[in-house]
Amino acid sequence: MVAPLDTQRLNETPEGIELGLRLAGPVPRALALALDILIRIGLYLALLPLLALGEVGLGLTLLAVFLLEWFYPVLFELRSGATPGKRALGLTVVHDDGTPVGLSASMVRNLLRVVDFLPIFYGFGLLSTLIDPDFRRLGDLAAGTLVIHAEPGRRATKRRATLTDPDSRPPPALPLETQRAILAFVERAPQLSLERRIELAELLTAAEGLRGAPALARVEGWAAWLAEGCSREDSA
């Protein structure tokens, strides 16, 4: 079944291909936040035995609480794109162009949680997600990030082309812009559902009349061939 498009954000690549991202609304984001809070509470409780060490234990506990509160989300976002709470809800954090979130953006969006929290329990953050068409809180607006649904099976199938694989050879005299579009499509494929990848692949293979999974496999083969520089060898 094709995913509903009402929370779909379309990004156009420099090559003119529109790629869709399924935006996460306030409800799944709030549930993910609640799970992360519960996880952090559990970690805080695990630190209580340190208080038996007196002032040294108190200092270590406060340091650990500080690191957990501010760097817990940054660590997980840089490692896998999502905190445990977000991952449990099938969400991930990306730049607003669909690329994986980087260190500076993750730091900004998480440091500004203190503003989103105002005036009480993420009041400003909730208001921002309700007003913004992309459901971004203030930290997302400042960092240029989005929270999206990570589609099942979103990892692209990697297929390595060889010089003797005829199905991987792109059509003769393939325009440079089309070659770039093919490479951009496969590079951003992990952000797309399987249905969306097939839909875009069918556009690229329309001249051959391929549809469905064969169209996707053909485009992935072309991309692998182009990435290995086979197109340049053919034109030599």
Summarised one tens digit per residue, pLDDT across range 55-70 is 998 999 999 999 998 8
For residue 11, what is the enclosing H or E element? strand 8-12
Average pLDDT on 199-219 reads 78
Burial degree of 128 (CB within 10 A; 0-12, 13-18, 19+): buried
pLDDT tens string 6-19: 466 655 554 445 55
* pLDDT at res. 206: 76
CA distance 30 to 159: 38
pLDDT at 7: 64
Instruction: Indicate the pLDDT class of residue 157, thresholds 50, 70 and 90.
Output: very low
> End-to-end distance of the chain based on CA atoms, in angstroms?
45
- Residue of higher predicted confidence among 40 and 168: 40
- Structure-block tokens of residue 40: 């952090």
What is the full DSSP assignment across 214-236? HHHHHHHHHHHHHHTTHHHHHH-
Q: How many CA atoms lie within 13 A of 160 on its CB side?
A: 0
For residue 212, the SS3 value is coil
Q: Can you tell me which residue has the tokens 């060898």? A: 233
Tokens at 185, concatenated: 């499509």
Q: Residue 116 in contact with residue 125, Cβ under 8 Å?
A: yes
**Whole-model pTM?**
0.61
| Tokens (6 digits) for 142 | 């400042």
- As a whole-number percent, the residues of the chain with pLDDT over 70 amount to 77
